[in-house]
Amino acid sequence: MTNDLVLRTATDADYAELEAHIANAFLEDVDEDTADHNRMIFEPGRTQLMTDAGRIVGSGLILTRDLSVPGGVIPAAHVTGVGVASTHRRRGVLTTLMNAMLTEAHDRGTEPLAVLWASEGAIYGRYGYGLASWRVSYEIGSRDITVGGSTPDGGRLRTAATRDVLDDVRAVFDRVLVQRPGLSTRPGQWWEYLTADPKGWRRGMSSERTVVYEDDGGVRGYARYRLKSGWNETGPDGEVRVTELLAETPEAHAALWRFLTSVDLVRTVKYAHGPVDDPLPHLVNNPDALVGSAGASLWVRILDVAGALAARRYAAPVDVVLEVTDPTFAGNTGRWRLVADDAKADVTPTDADADLALDVRALGSLYLGGVSAATLAAGGLVTERTPGSVARLSTAFGWHRAPVTVEVF
């Protein structure tokens, strides 16, 4: 490594070199078919680069999107594209880039959170991110289960190329988003970006299709999916890979899964973004055949403690003093009184004794309602000072729908 390391904000002119750098960091080549695709969502002014003698050796991108949280939808800096050239690793380049990204988002003053998906879970806790959400990955032997019930009168399914039903899909997404934490809004060109279906994204599967469920009131749910034909010694062995499934009604949810698990010539259905409170295991004749594994999804970094706590709603009335520590942003460290319920939340700095103490990482884990204060207290990550306060906080910070993050950004 030379001594010519320079941290700077990207410009439009960096795009092609940045694409190659990120592909390389993720062990891939730039695919001709997708080379320009990421331009649609590229925000050079929010992209931090580290260069060495003028060449990019490190990157970190922020995407400007909102996130659904318990009782609201709020701005959140979506961090992605983090990569350091293998020649320059373990010398603090990521730490410099992350500090620059978090400081930019913090100083902007409009985003109380930063969020990300981690390529490796060991990386981001040190920067104050807490693991806030889990996903269930299914691998379903479609001949081993049946999904109960039948489509009610007036209910019907329709398949189409995703882009031909995009208005309906968007409408369902927007309605589900306000009901469930963990979903990221898709402003500007995001829908076009996600559904343009470049060949490089197919990875051996078909083009993307969508099945929508509608009743006389309109479309109530959809599943975007790809197919793969396959054969073995005993016959057909095809696969359905679901990209995203969202439903507003029980009828839509059941009908979509009945459809996906009964496609002829298919033996396996995969979906990597099931919520942990998915009703599916309760609908099938044999839940054991839903081979599911839970994995980490969204990590949350609280940038503004008071702003973040005031921006969500709470499942039960709570009046509590939290002592928060944040090694990076001094303004977050201190005691905060939270008086809140399902309709409002007031947060004020206070000198009163704290009921609970926790660091900003634990607060990030609690924030979406998917990780309980009792869990963190059992791990020593939340300290109870007033007896009973962990139980009260667990109830208040919980939410009736588990967070789900259906898209890796």
Ligand X SMILES: CC(=O)SCCNC(=O)CCNC(=O)[C@H](O)C(C)(C)COP(=O)(O)OP(=O)(O)OC[C@H]1O[C@@H](n2cnc3c(N)ncnc32)[C@H](O)[C@@H]1OP(=O)(O)O
- Chosen residue from 37, 89, 270, 313 binding ligand X by CB under 6 A: 89
- Site membership for ligand X, residue 184 (CB under 6 A): no
Q: Is 122 in the site for ligand X (CB under 6 A)?
A: yes
Rounded to a whole number of angstroms, the minimum distance from the CB of residue 191 to ligand X is 22
Which of 48, 83, 57, 82 shows the shortest CA–CA distance to 5?
57
Question: With binding defined as CB under 6 A, does residue 114 bind ligand X?
Answer: no
Query: CA nearest 340: which of 69, 68, 67, 65?
Result: 69
Bridge partners, 159 (sequence order): 211
Output the six-digit token pair for 66: 């909102």
Binding to ligand X by residue 28, rule CB under 6 A?
no
Judged by CB, which is closer to ligand X: 120, or 351?
A: 120
The piece of 121-129, 224-232, 304-312, 373-381 that touches ligand X (CB under 6 A) is: 121-129
- Judged by CB under 6 A, which of 82, 280, 360, 377 binds ligand X? 82
Choose, by CB under 6 A, the member of 12, 29, 120, 153 that binds ligand X.
120
Which H or E element spans position 253?
helix 250-260
Containing 247, the helix (H) or strand (E) segment is strand 238-247
CB 157 within 8 A of CB 255: yes
The distance of closest approach from Cβ of residue 146 to ligand X in the complex, given in angstroms and rounded to an integer, is 39
Q: Does 172 bind ligand X (CB under 6 A)?
A: no
Contact status: 94 vs ligand X (CB under 6 A): yes
Which stretch in 29-37, 88-96, 134-142, 310-318 sits in contact with ligand X by CB under 6 A? 88-96
Q: How far apart are CA 41 and CA 125, in angstroms?
A: 26
Cα(58)–Cα(154) distance, rounded to whole angstroms? 55
Least distance (Å) between residue 72 CB and ligand X: 24
* CB contact set of 91 (below 8 Å; sequence gap of 6+): 1
**From 18, 62, 69, 84, residue interacting with ligand X (rule: CB under 6 A):** 84
Residue 15 is among the residues annotated as catalytic for this protein: no
Order of strands, edge to edge, in the sheet holding 345-349?
345-349, 334-340, 318-325, 356-359, 382-384
93 is in an annotated binding site: yes
* Token output for 387: 């007896």
Extract the runs of DSSP E, i.e. beta strands, from 142-217: 156-161, 209-215
Catalytic residue among 15, 42, 124, 329: 124
Closer CB to ligand X, 26 or 231, in the complex: 26
Q: Where are the alpha helices (DSSP H) in 161-238?
A: 166-177, 190-195
State yes or no: 94 annotated in a binding site: yes
Say whether 409 is catalytic.
Answer: yes
227 binds ligand X (CB under 6 A): no
- In angstroms, the CA 31 to CA 20 distance is 10
Fill in the amino acid letter for 201.
Answer: W
Q: Is 120 annotated as a binding residue?
A: yes
- Region class of 334: left (phi > 0), else alpha (psi between -120 and 50), else beta: left
Query: Binding to ligand X by residue 327, rule CB under 6 A?
Result: no
95 binds ligand X (CB under 6 A): yes
Closest distance between ligand X and the C-beta of residue 271, in Å? 22
Q: Would you give the binding string for ligand X spanning residues 42-81, x where CB under 6 A is met?
A: -------------------------------------xxx
Nearest to 152 by CA among 258, 225, 280: 258
Between strands 134-141 and 266-274, the pairing is: antiparallel
Number of residues that bind ligand X (CB under 6 A): 22
Which of the residues 222, 259, 314, 409 is marked catalytic? Answer: 409
Query: In the complex, which residues of this chain contact ligand X (CB under 6 A)?
Result: 25-26, 79-84, 89-95, 116, 118-120, 122-123, 126
Active site residues: 124, 409
Please enumerate, by residue number, every residue annotated as part of a binding site for acetyl-CoA: 82-84, 90-95, 119-120
